[in-house]
């Protein structure tokens, strides 16, 4: 498709909330980073490059005893935090505002992808003594 030179009817859903099917055996606490895995089901965020961060869990959800897609989790997009900050060379600082940050686990982000091992969590929105604020 070629670039347009005229106005177009681009829409929005008007919502930053999604309800996603959960992976089998998954227990997602409230307030953590959530990813979808290669199968497209929600999991706690982990440092697995193939996963994609889709937001933060608004409420706890458990599919610990269920099959994939047997339970749903509500995931919100926006700016959230403070998440834990990595240490040493992976510690996020004010100099990283506006840069991508990467998933260490469901509550911790890092400055680097660890040579492609970690997926993007979002964009560094703020850093303070409590941790890192991430736009997802």
Taking the chain (136 residues) in runs of 10, the rounded mean pLDDT of each run is 86 82 97 97 97 96 94 95 96 98 98 96 97 97
Give the span between the Cα atoms of 133 and 94, in whole angstroms.
11
Q: What pLDDT, on the 0 to 100 scale, is given for residue 14?
A: 67
> What is the model's pLDDT at position 11?
75
Nearest by Cα to 45 from 18, 9, 56? 56
Q: Which residue has the tokens 């307030």?
A: 31
Around Cβ 124, how many Cβ atoms within 10 Å?
23
**SS3 category, 95:** helix
Parallel/antiparallel/unpaired status of strands 72-76 and 52-57: antiparallel
Q: Which pair of structure tokens corresponds to residue 68?
A: 């994939």
């Amino acid at each position: 498709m070629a670039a347009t030179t005229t106005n177009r009817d681009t829409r929005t859903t008007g919502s930053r909330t999604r309800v996603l099917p959960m992976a089998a055996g998954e227990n997602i606490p409230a307030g953590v980073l959530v990813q979808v895995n290669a199968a497209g089901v929600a999991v706690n965020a982990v440092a697995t490059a193939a996963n994609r961060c889709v937001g933060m869990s608004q409420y706890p959800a458990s599919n610990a005893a269920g099959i994939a897609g047997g339970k749903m989790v509500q995931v919100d997009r926006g700016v959230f935090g403070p998440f834990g900050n990595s240490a040493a060379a992976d510690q996020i600082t004010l100099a990283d505002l506006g840069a991508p940050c990467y998933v260490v686990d469901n509550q911790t982000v890092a400055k680097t992808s660890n040579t492609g091992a970690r997926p993007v969590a979002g964009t560094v929105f703020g850093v303070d003594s409590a941790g890192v604020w991430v736009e997802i």
